[in-house]
Structure 1
Amino acid sequence: MAGVAGRSGRRPKPTAQKALAGNPGKRALNKNEPDFALVTNIDPPEWLGENAAKVWKMVVPELLRAKVLALTDLHNVEAFCTAYDNWRMAQDAVREHGIVVTGAMGGPMKNPALTAANEAMRQMVTFGSMLGLDPASRSRIIGGNKQQSTNEFAAILNS
């Protein structure tokens, strides 16, 4: 957020990403960055809705395979899955009642489910981006299964 101390401007790159890029800015790397335990297997929480549990079962195995899901990320996965569930319910309501519904005064009005669907979609984009679930954010994530370059000439170029 602009205007908030410590939060304005571009989000910082993770230290691992800077190191793999050869530290192009040549600034000191954060040696005290937290290293949270990776999750190896986890079932969806019982309180998730049906659609949320389905998307959990699709997304979590991919994050586990890429070795990018830490224990501290589970709330983001849960929020993403819940937003997906809310989006699906809102879309079902739009499909059932239409884009325009009858308002309290009898006139036509925009279906409130469209607003709910839009908000849920924004939440999916936000939490999905945090988890690397879209192409742009996926390209910025350094997973635990990524191999470092074995090209001995790369070390000379980065010196």
Structure 2
Amino acid sequence: MESVYQFTVKKTNGEELSLKEYEGKPLIIVNTASKCGLTPQFKGLQELYDQYKDQGLEILGFPCDQFNNQEFDNIEETTQFCQMNYGVTFPIFAKIDVNGNNADPLFTFLKEQKRGILSKTIKWNFTKFLVDRNGQVVERYAPNTEPDKILEDLVKLL
């Protein structure tokens, strides 16, 4: 059975990381942007992380510049922005594409597992995917879904 654990992702320093590192943990995987109207969702994501990380929750943030160029060019600026403005301590990875020919394979998989309302395509920043402890995508949330609205589904996985 395919799962998110079959993928590797790039850390901000360019090193590859196998998602097997997160095996057995519920995940929220989200494409982020630092200069977006939805950027304040970092606060809600961090609150979820703070509240549930001891129960295994991991949040994986993937900066994306595909929607109106709302991400810094330099990944260090991105991570500093997230830490300074929202106290983000969950992992932020290297900038990726989530749609198109250069879409990151992880996000291609996520989109295949859970379509959006009208298509597989990710429509905007802060599309969130909830993944169970077996690496299976159980839900996809629209960009405007606030992190606290995921709570009911998340608690079932903890």
Compare the two structures and name the one with the higher strand fraction: 2
**TM-score by shorter chain over 0.5:** no
**Which bracket does the TM-score occupy, shorter chain normalised?**
under 0.3
Larger Rg: 1 or 2?
1
The TM-score normalised by the length of structure 2 is 0.24
The TM-score normalised by the length of structure 1 is 0.24
Compare the two structures and name the one with the higher helix fraction: 1
